Amino acid sequence: MGIDDKEILPRCGRSPDVGEEESRRLRSCGFTRIWAVAWWSRAKRFFELPWPERVRVALYALGFPLIAVALRVWQYKTLKARLGAVSGPTRRHRHRKSLPAQRIAELVEMSSRGSLWKPDCLQRSMLLWWALRAEGWESEIRFGVRKRSGGAGFDFHAWVERNGEVINDHPSIDETFMPLVASADLPPEARLV
């Protein structure tokens, strides 16, 4: 079930009354051209970055599938502990902070958009949390829940906060999703266990 040239060519400003050979040559005006333009603009932004930031974006893009597989193998807490042990601020990067936290978040977002792997919010947040810790920035992964429209279930979301400020999402995300509070953050009298 392909798309007829007569549908594609008028959108490109070409006459549908062209020969078969010319028609095949002009197919690039369809979806392939749109994809290529989008890819080229991402590639152009990537190559405009300074060299150290390009390396980070490439490493972050490689990290997404690794985080996804690790989340299938280990529970969230176990993976967070392992990543924290590898990149914690108590290690060699404690005082490094070569990039601002917001810039690291932008690079992680850029790598998620340009990656062949399309990470979900938890994978993006885990990678950002790890990248911030590797640079010496303290942050926390937060989880939220909201009721789906129509009342048929719930949506869950993850984001990263630093000093109470949302880094990798809309600043008012905690108004859209009700943040879940860890039992360790509750006063002793409010804990269930």
Tell me, what's the pLDDT at 151?
75
Across the 193 residues of the chain, what is the mean pLDDT of every consecutive 10-residue run?
40 46 53 60 81 90 91 90 75 61 92 82 93 89 87 88 89 86 58 48
* Reported pTM: 0.71
**Contact at 8 Å (CB) between 130 and 82?**
no
Domain layout of the chain by residue ranges: 1-48, 49-190
CA 103 to chain CA centroid, Å, is 14
Segments of the chain assigned E as strands: 140-147, 154-162, 165-166, 178-179
What per-residue confidence (pLDDT) applies to 2? 42
Q: Which of 65, 84, 80 is nearest to 133 (CA)?
A: 84
- Under 8 Å between Cβ of 97 and 162: no
The pairing of strands 140-147 and 165-166 is: unpaired
Q: What is the pLDDT of residue 131?
A: 92
Tens of pLDDT, residues 73-96? 998 888 888 888 887 654 444 555
Rounded distance, CA 95 to CA 109, Å? 24
Report the pLDDT value the prediction gives residue 22, as an integer from 0 to 100: 54
Sheet with strand 154-162: strands edge to edge: 165-166, 154-162, 140-147, 178-179
